[in-house]
Amino acid sequence: MPAPVIVGTDGSGSAGHAVAWAAAEAVRWHRRLHIVHVAQIWPYQVRRFTPAEEEERVSRAGRAVLAEAEATVRDRHPDLRVTAALAVGPTVDALGTEAEGGLELVLGHRGRGGFTDLLLGSVSLRMVGHSSVPVVIVRDGGVQDGEVAVGCGLGGEDHDVLAHAFAAASARGVRLRLVHAWQAPAEAEPGPPADEERIDDERRVRLVAACAPFRERFPLVEVATEVRAGHPVSVLAQRSRKAALLVVGTRERHWPAPWLGSVAHGVIHHAACPVAAVPRSK
């Protein structure tokens, strides 16, 4: 059975945008939509220590959140197959379990928790670092029918990232833009300045070669390449303003938190469109 699109909801406005986006995504991919709500039982955390009346109250509220989300989706997409699940426990663990085997996990950029001035909800950010499947962080607004953009390195570690990006562009029937940003070493040797045009051309050739196997698998996907000098986060954030989806990889090698990565972390915070964070194979 094809892997479903998973979406987490807590009933917030941000989660509502995520559910709507995920439903449209499931239609594009011809997949089932699976809606998940995690009931918080804090401060008990362990279910056997939770008073029965408290568990019933939390479960009843969770079922109401799921019912509302299901009704909204069925109203917009009556032919879409929709399932739902109520989980109880630590949010990240529960979402991770529900997402296993899914096509992707879709989350809003901010939930009902505190610290509302933060750019991104803590649950969404933690899921990006721990999920075994791609996690899509959905922001409100942005273009709807633009191209798919993907941030690419040249070290050969982006196979899973490119695979997801090509498939996403194919499902949407839109152009895929491969974006590579490079920076001169901070301690450059004395001499003439770097020939940016030559470096761009050399890296573009390598970028085209890296995506060649995927162009064979997705011959109908139009591909554009963009190589620019600059910080990857800045370059990708600028490109996100004209994209419907930005795809990046996690688990970068040269960052103290290898499960997420500096570029992925920065892009998720600053992108103007939904961001799909794809785990790189270890």
**Top-confidence residue, 104 or 252:** 104
Residues forming beta bridges with residue 34, ordered by sequence position: 6, 83
Q: Which pLDDT tens digit goes with each residue over 257-275?
A: 444 567 888 999 899 999 9
pLDDT at 153 over 70: yes
pLDDT at 156 over 90: no
Cα angle vertex 151, ends 160, 174, to 5°?
A: 85
Query: Which of 76, 103, 138 is the endpoint of a domain?
Result: 138
What is the spatial distance between Cα 136 and Cα 176, in angstroms, rounded to a whole number? 17
pLDDT at 255 over 60: no
Q: Count structural domains, the chain.
A: 2
Q: What H or E segment, with its residue span, contains residue 124?
A: helix 122-130
Q: Please list, in sequence order, all residues whose beta carbon lies within 8 angstroms of the beta carbon of residue 93, skipping any fewer than 6 positions away.
A: none
**φ, ψ (nearest 5 deg) of residue 250:** -110, 180
What is the spatial distance between Cα 268 and Cα 262, in angstroms, rounded to a whole number? 10
Q: Around Cβ 206, how many Cβ atoms within 10 Å?
A: 14
Kindly state whether residues 134 and 75 are assigned to the same domain. Answer: yes
pTM for this prediction? 0.86
Kindly state whether residues 207 and 126 are assigned to the same domain. Answer: no
What is the spatial distance between Cα 8 and Cα 26, in angstroms, rounded to a whole number? 14
Nearest CA-CA partner of 46 in 78, 3, 93: 93
What percentage of the chain exceeds 90 in pLDDT? Answer: 56
Start-end of H helices in 39-90: 52-76
Query: Which of 77, 103, 138 is the endpoint of a domain?
Result: 138
Kindly state whether residues 116 and 41 are assigned to the same domain. Answer: yes
Q: Please list, in sequence order, all residues whose beta carbon lies within 8 angstroms of the beta carbon of residue 266, skipping any fewer than 6 positions away.
A: 232, 233, 237
What local confidence, expressed as pLDDT, does residue 114 receive? 38
Kindly state whether residues 96 and 35 are assigned to the same domain. Answer: yes
Residues forming beta bridges with residue 33, ordered by sequence position: 5, 82
Kindly state whether residues 157 and 122 are assigned to the same domain. Answer: no
- Whole-angstrom CA distances from 64 to 42, 107, 189, 251 are 19, 19, 63, 36
Ramachandran assignment for 101, one of left (phi > 0), alpha (psi -120 to 50 degrees), beta (any other): left
Q: What is the CATH number of the domain that holds 109?
A: 3.40.50.620
Kindly state whether residues 87 and 165 are assigned to the same domain. Answer: no
* DSSP summary character for residue 3: P
CB–CB of 274/136 below 8 Å?
A: yes
Residue with tokens 């600028």: 238
Q: 270 lies in which domain range?
A: 147-279
What local confidence, expressed as pLDDT, does residue 126 receive? 84
Kindly state whether residues 123 and 191 are assigned to the same domain. Answer: no
AA letter at 173: G
Q: What H or E segment, with its residue span, contains residue 108?
A: strand 104-108
Q: Which pLDDT tens digit goes with each residue over 92-143?
A: 889 999 999 999 999 998 755 433 333 345 778 888 888 889 999 998 766 6
Kindly state whether residues 171 and 134 are assigned to the same domain. Answer: no
pLDDT at 57 over 80: no
Kindly state whether residues 93 and 166 are assigned to the same domain. Answer: no
Kindly state whether residues 199 and 226 are assigned to the same domain. Answer: yes
